[in-house]
Structure 1
């Protein structure tokens, strides 16, 4: 599958953006990371006057075969479908944060092991009723994986046509930290022991057991590329996240990366097309053990560090006001000339 993803590099525009930022009524660099974000968004949108339009959080939900055994997850698989209903009813953290920051919220059934009512306010993109247990067999077929990529791409294309140019991603799926751990180990070549964490709340004994199980799974297979790795270790929601990231970047949208699971999907997308990274803003540093190492591997600078490990896109939702503020200062803050303020003196 090919995605037409262009680099955002444009030396002439970059010089104009740097000058515009530096001539605002402040010392050079005084707005720190907001200056970096404003510059990046200007480059993504190829303009000196970027805009954040109709920002949207999309949550992909899916179930994992390994969860049925309950060996790597303290919560039962049924929690995935229960949380989808909670999202629809407005009771989850992501609902609160989306409402607080005036964000659109879309819920996608990527592969939950539950038959939802047809009139439920979600996007039905179900690939299957959960993946297979990768302790026994690869999680999904190549056909299912490509179908997940395509379906999520169609969702993003529709949002773009409806006016969204900034998109944050979230997920829901009991045991999806296990899939993310396996994908992290594959793409970073770090040992499972460096990648595995507590997920939804395992104690030290549970983490040790999870590490042992995932090490056995990892050593069982030898995927040859990113798509094979997703077929082997992934979840339908993580495959859809990967396809969604790739399509959003192809459409030159600003992409806000949430926590551990979404970053695992990003690692997959990067292996397919390395230009993806230029379009991504990292919302936060999750409290899930492997996420800090993922960010270091990517040389990424997250905006927030709040010890979050909930998922759902909560970090992305909290970061969007800062991203909006970076664009607003670039567009609306006075320059030294327009404000009649003296700039820095030169020796």
Structure 2
């Protein structure tokens, strides 16, 4: 029987290297996480798959976003054309890209990078009725898990989650409100770029939505307030957990999906690497609710998986730290 790799064993390996123990700070912590999750002293992070989940939101009927819902379809087309910010970052690190149609309110033409996992053409308006049926939530979670497992089966060492969906910061704020939990107004930010009047209107709509249901159980919170792409990303986290694979969590919306997954299965926290602290209001508080310290803090609030991709070089460096650095004993004995 193979002996299990423990945190203590990984720390002992790092402490024996030719440098002062602890001198690489949080990179050492990251190396420990990689080794323990992958159960190897030589973890891999070279093959990266970016999974961008796209979906529309009925909440946009009440103008919770500064942009119309049609922008979701337009940005999906931009991602498929390789011209979005996430594509540029993915090329910079050699990551595979897949765009998953979780619930775009349009019939999308086939494309080599597009995965048709559509559950419905968007959600219903959560300010007036449940966003989804129980069946839709469960199907979205299952399909998200399938997409994570498919990417791992294609050879990915590491998954990066991203999203595209006009109105999804409003949905994520409601999910955070109930699952962190946190006061609603602390969870609501400018999203795609509201001015003061737009932000006040968004707060009013989401207050009305929150008063419609007192849900606190994760699946019910997703049913009442979630998005199809948010539920699908939660499923992707659970799929990664089942395969003992690390998944890099991007910004505010992805973190809300991870929060839902962790509230469903607390052990999912171990496989989540939180890439960055978003500039979106509420993200820092949501991270603290999961005792998560992100790798970067760059003032990002775009989504698409951009922050997750930027964190990959740090993760690769942590993997290399375990496999490529000589021990002090080898240095002193001239074995390098």
Common fold by TM > 0.5: yes
What is residue 170 of structure 1 aligned with on the other side? 162
2:177 touches 2:187 (CA, 8 Å); kept in 1? yes
3-state SS of paired residue (1:18):
helix
What is residue 241 of structure 2 aligned with on the other side? 249
| Closer/same/farther in 2, CA of residues 138 and 287 from structure 1, 3 Å limit | same
3-state SS of paired residue (1:289):
coil
What is residue 4 of structure 1 aligned with on the other side? none
The alignment status of 1:40 with 2:33, answered yes or no, reads: yes
1:25 touches 1:341 (CA, 8 Å); kept in 2? no
What is residue 30 of structure 1 aligned with on the other side? 23
Q: In the TM superposition, what are the counterparts of 1:176-187 in structure 2 within 5 Å?
A: 176-187=168-179
| Closer/same/farther in 2, CA of residues 83 and 339 from structure 1, 3 Å limit | same
3-state SS of paired residue (1:304):
coil
Equivalent of residue 80 in structure 2, options 72, 80, 88:
88
1:52 touches 1:165 (CA, 8 Å); kept in 2? yes
Q: What is the Cα deviation at residue 298 of structure 1?
A: 1.4
CA-to-aligned-CA distance 1:17-68 (integer Å, 9 cap, x gap)? 1111111111111111110000011110112221224211100000001113
In the alignment of these two chains, the number of paired residues is: 332
What is residue 289 of structure 2 aligned with on the other side? 297
Equivalent of residue 57 in structure 1, options 38, 45, 50:
50
Structure 1 vs Structure 2 CA RMSD: 1.5
> Where do 5+ consecutive residues of structure 2 fail to align?
none
Equivalent of residue 216 in structure 1, options 172, 197, 208:
208
The alignment status of 1:311 with 2:327, answered yes or no, reads: no
What is residue 6 of structure 2 aligned with on the other side? 13
Q: Give 4+ residue runs of structure 1 displaced > 6 Å after superposition.
A: none
| Closer/same/farther in 2, CA of residues 132 and 186 from structure 1, 3 Å limit | same
Q: What is the Cα deviation at residue 336 of structure 1?
A: 0.7
Give the whole-Å Cα distance in 2 for the aligned partners of 1:216 and 1:225.
Answer: 19
Give the whole-Å Cα distance in 1 for the aligned partners of 2:256 and 2:300.
Answer: 16
When normalised by structure 2's length, the TM-score is 0.96
| Closer/same/farther in 2, CA of residues 119 and 312 from structure 1, 3 Å limit | closer
The alignment status of 1:279 with 2:279, answered yes or no, reads: no
Q: In the TM superposition, what are the counterparts of 1:136-175 in structure 2 within 5 Å?
A: 136-175=128-167
Give the whole-Å Cα distance in 1 for the aligned partners of 2:294 and 2:316.
Answer: 15
| Closer/same/farther in 2, CA of residues 194 and 341 from structure 1, 3 Å limit | farther
